[in-house]
């Protein structure tokens, strides 16, 4: 495939517009010898003279007129396309596509969503609530939310929360029927409602810290689900012990419809981060969104940890 001499065509069009090589050089911010060199290189590549140059003027040859008629509109389309692309990067209107787990939506985004929409009414947040670890580049997202221990080194990451507090919990009716576990090994005699990672097709490990050591317990599974809200409801209905981020069930705990167990053995988790590929760093919509979340976190009324 023959490569088009784009830079040479740009020089040719500038000469025609300006009326001379020297004027074209000034408009392009380069020296006149560079313009002359580029024009000669273009004519050699095409194999025909494009301009007849005299000491007083330049005239188009038949070949030059043919190139001008076809190249000028096409080159303007390229210029317009570049400007349109640049405008997307700088625009504060349009659609920002994000992927995030339900817990991140509930803890971080939901409490401030109305404020964001009021401040940026021309921005549409296209949200994919997904418990799996999405490939944001392959799947066309601008950014995603993920726990710190799930980040990859090729992404830019912005911390959104402090360390997160998980918990094990059950319904009062279940605890009344089966007893309250006081040590992680007691769970081996209890039923559990477990979470399954969609992408990895793996059951979430139940880990506890005792005497500075992390230990895993695998109690009998009553139910396995791939959605945290479904898990909360199943535990609420008395189907066994479950795991969650404490912030997601705080209202139930305050109301007494759920109770935590084994709190002394639970370790904190890494913070939530917003992550995105390096090439999205200059995307204005993403910058506005990140600055907005940062302002909310820094305020005294910050709704998330």
Q: What CATH code is carried by the domain that includes residue 171?
A: 3.40.190.290
In order of 99, 194, 214, the CA distances from 149 in angstroms are: 17, 20, 16
Q: Do 72 and 105 belong together in one domain?
A: no
The count of structural domains within the chain is 3
Q: Do 251 and 136 belong together in one domain?
A: no
**CATH number of the domain to which 149 belongs:** 3.40.190.10
Q: Do 51 and 79 belong together in one domain?
A: yes
Average pLDDT over residues 239-251: 95
pLDDT > 90: what percent of the chain? 49
Task: Look at residue 304 in the predicted model and tell me its pLDDT.
Answer: 47
d(CA 69, CA 79): 16
pLDDT > 70: what percent of the chain? 91
Q: Domain ends where: 75, 90, 105?
A: 90
- 142 lies in a domain? yes
Query: Residue 14 pLDDT > 70, yes or no?
Result: yes
- 203 lies in a domain? yes
Task: Look at residue 217 in the predicted model and tell me its pLDDT.
Answer: 94
Q: Domain ends where: 63, 90, 117?
A: 90
Average pLDDT over residues 174-195: 96
**DSSP string of the chain, one letter each residue:** -PPP-HHHHHHHHHHHHHSSHHHHHHHHTS-HHHHHHHHHHHHHHHTS--EEE-SS-EEE-HHHHHHHHHHHHHHHHHHHHHHHHHHHHH-SSEEEEEEE-HHHIIIIIGGGHHHHHHH-TTEEEEEEE-SS---TTTTT-SEEEEEGGG--TTEEEEE-SS-B-EEEEE-HHHHHHH----SGGGGGGS-EEEEEETTTTEEPPEEEEETTEEEEE-PPEEEEES-HHHHHHHHHTTS-BEEEEGGGGHHHHHHTSSEEE-GGGPPPBPPEEEEEEGGGTT-HHHHHHHHHHHHHHHSTT-S--
* pLDDT one-digit tens code per residue, 28-48: 888 888 888 888 888 888 888
Q: Do 260 and 276 belong together in one domain?
A: no
Q: Domain ends where: 72, 90, 108?
A: 90
* pLDDT one-digit tens code per residue, 109-142: 999 999 999 999 999 999 998 877 778 888 889 9
Task: Look at residue 298 in the predicted model and tell me its pLDDT.
Answer: 65
Average pLDDT over residues 50-54: 79
Q: Do 248 and 176 belong together in one domain?
A: yes
Task: Look at residue 2 in the predicted model and tell me its pLDDT.
Answer: 58
Task: Look at residue 134 in the predicted model and tell me its pLDDT.
Answer: 76
Q: Do 157 and 203 belong together in one domain?
A: no
Q: Do 289 and 142 belong together in one domain?
A: yes
- 1 lies in a domain? no
- 45 lies in a domain? yes
- 50 lies in a domain? yes
Q: Do 136 and 153 belong together in one domain?
A: yes
Tell me the whole-structure pTM to 2 decimals. 0.66
Please state, rounded to an integer, the average pLDDT across all residues of the chain: 87
Q: Do 216 and 280 belong together in one domain?
A: no
Domain membership of residue 275 as a residue range? 94-163+270-298
- 129 lies in a domain? yes
Q: Do 176 and 257 belong together in one domain?
A: yes
């Amino acid at each position: 495939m023959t490569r088009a001499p784009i830079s040479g065509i740009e020089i040719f069009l500038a000469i025609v517009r300006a009326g001379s090589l020297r004027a074209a050089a000034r408009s392009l911010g380069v020296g006149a010898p560079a313009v002359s060199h580029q024009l000669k290189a273009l004519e050699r590549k095409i194999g025909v003279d494009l301009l007849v140059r005299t000491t007083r003027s330049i005239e188009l040859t038949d070949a030059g007129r043919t190139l001008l008629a076809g190249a000028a509109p096409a080159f303007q389309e390229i210029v317009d396309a570049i400007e349109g692309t640049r405008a997307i990067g700088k625009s504060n209107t349009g659609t920002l596509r994000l992927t995030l787990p339900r817990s991140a939506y509930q803890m971080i985004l939901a409490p401030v969503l109305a404020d964001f929409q009021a401040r940026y009414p021309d921005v549409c947040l296209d949200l994919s609530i997904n418990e799996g670890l999405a490939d944001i580049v392959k799947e066309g997202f601008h950014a995603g939310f993920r726990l710190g221990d799930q980040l990859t080194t090729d992404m830019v990451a912005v911390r959104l929360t402090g360390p997160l507090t998980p918990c094990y919990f059950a319904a009062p009716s279940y605890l009344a029927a089966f007893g309250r576990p006081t040590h992680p090994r007691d769970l081996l005699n209890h039923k559990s409602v477990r979470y399954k990672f969609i992408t990895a097709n793996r059951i979430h490990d139940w880990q506890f810290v005792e005497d500075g050591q992390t230990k895993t317990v695998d109690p009998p599974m009553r139910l396995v689900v791939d959605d945290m809200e479904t898990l909360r409801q199943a535990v609420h209905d008395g189907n066994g012990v479950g795991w969650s981020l404490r912030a997601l069930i705080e209202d139930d705990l305050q109301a007494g419809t759920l109770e935590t167990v084994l709190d002394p053995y639970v370790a904190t988790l890494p913070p939530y981060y917003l992550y995105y590929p390096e090439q999205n760093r200059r995307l204005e919509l993403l910058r506005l969104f990140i600055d907005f979340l940062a302002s909310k976190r820094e305020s005294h009324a910050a709704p998330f940890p």
